[in-house]
Amino acid sequence: MATRAVMFTIGKFRCFPILKSGVAKFTTSSNLLSTATFDPGYTRDPSEVFFKENVQALLDRLTGRDYEKVFQNRKLGQRLEPPKYELLTQAEVDQVMAEMAAKLKRKLQMPPLLKEREPVTKILSEDPELQGFDNCKYVFINISQGINDRKREVVVRDPNGVLRDASWEERQRMCQIYFPVPGRQIYMPKMFEETHLQDCLEKGQYEFVLDRACAQFEPDDPDYIRVTRKTYNCVDENNKFSTLRSTRHFGPMVLHLVLCKRMDNLLFHFITSKDVKAAVDLVRLFHLIWSDPSYSELDEFQLIENYIQGPAVKKPALELAWQTFLEIEKQRLEALSLSQQNTASN
């Protein structure tokens, strides 16, 4: 008994599924996702350092653990459940706190920092006898279950008779039709176009932009790299680091700034916030990435002073902030010592 294929239309796609594979027909006027490259200014592959355990540990500490911020109510269009109050034993409280810590760790899982993927150029066959058969592309996709989308077979027959592997944009678009990813759209949302993106960043919607980018793109997508790096740079230029602290995007932003050697604003933020531990971790991360073994012999204060006197670009501002911090810390210790003496004398 013959099966009947039902054709449907999505935008400018004309698609009709078959038993184990699907065929999609692109018109020549289809607008593919933008493939414009974006140079973030790195001199090395970020994946070489991002996945190192010691780098991950430093980025995790720098991210912070603000439970109220991580678990705050978000406007996602969902109905909020009323709070529940329970009487718990100490053992039950410990168990709940452990569960919350595990949940927080999942929420703060950092998206990877990768280099831009290479374009797909593999040609499977050239059949000139098919040239002129149609003026549209035919896309064939294996719709079998249990296959990773990046490994799924997707091939394209061009009007000139060339059979080739689908480009990344064609692959993502077809996979989204047959295996939709929640939060991802077939066409790139307007908000990621430069004009609209700039408007979102000027309104300070940094976390919203980064969350949407994670849902829409793969980490090595040129558009993902363009959007995220532009957002990181905007946060840095406006000194809005607190907006991303205790979010999954803070670690990748820190690594981006260190790889670009433009972490001075962030270091200044940590010093003026009196967060010396974070400042030390930031300098340690810098030396770790740029392979400077001398830092391991220095104490915390010497680490910061050594960076300010050495690789720092904005030396005057950092020197002033550091000297101000040292003076305040000296006065605090003197007041604490005097208070302890008075307590002992009484």
Q: Indicate whether 229 belongs to any domain.
A: yes
| Cβ within 8 Å of residue 190, ≥6 positions away | 196
Q: Are residues 60 and 135 in the same domain?
A: no
Q: Are residues 62 and 113 in the same domain?
A: yes
H or E element: which one contains 338?
Answer: helix 315-345
pTM of the model: 0.83
Last residue of a domain, one of 245, 261, 277: 261
Q: Are residues 193 and 160 in the same domain?
A: no
Q: Are residues 313 and 219 in the same domain?
A: no
Q: Are residues 38 and 26 in the same domain?
A: no
Q: Indicate whether 181 belongs to any domain.
A: no
* Per-residue b or e along 51-82, where b marks 16 or more CB atoms closer than 10 Å to that residue's CB: eeeebeebbbbbbbeeeeebeeeeeeeeeeee
Q: Indicate whether 101 belongs to any domain.
A: no
Q: Indicate whether 152 belongs to any domain.
A: yes
Q: Are residues 152 and 199 in the same domain?
A: no
Q: Are residues 146 and 114 in the same domain?
A: no
Last residue of a domain, one of 229, 261, 293: 261
Q: Indicate whether 92 belongs to any domain.
A: no
Q: Indicate whether 315 belongs to any domain.
A: yes
Residue 194 and residue 197: Cα distance in Å, rounded? 5
Query: What is the residue-level pLDDT of the chain in tens, covering all 346 positions?
Result: 333 333 433 333 444 443 444 444 444 333 333 333 444 568 888 999 999 999 999 999 999 999 889 988 877 777 888 888 989 999 999 999 999 999 999 999 999 999 999 999 999 999 989 888 888 999 999 999 989 998 999 999 999 999 999 999 999 999 999 999 999 999 999 999 999 999 999 999 999 999 999 999 999 999 999 999 999 999 999 999 999 999 999 999 999 999 999 999 999 999 999 999 999 999 999 999 987 766 767 788 899 999 999 999 999 999 999 999 999 988 988 888 888 877 777 6
Q: Are residues 115 and 44 in the same domain?
A: yes
Q: Indicate whether 171 belongs to any domain.
A: no
Q: Indicate whether 137 belongs to any domain.
A: yes
Residue 55 and residue 59: Cα distance in Å, rounded? 6
Q: Are residues 140 and 15 in the same domain?
A: yes
Alpha helix ranges (H) inside 203-314: 206-216, 222-237, 250-259, 264-272, 276-289, 300-309
Domain that holds residue 318: 263-339
pLDDT at 19: 40
Q: Are residues 154 and 226 in the same domain?
A: no
Q: Are residues 315 and 257 in the same domain?
A: no
User: Which tokens sit at 205?
Assistant: 């919607």
Q: How many domains does the chain have?
A: 3
pLDDT at 83: 83
Last residue of a domain, one of 225, 240, 261: 261
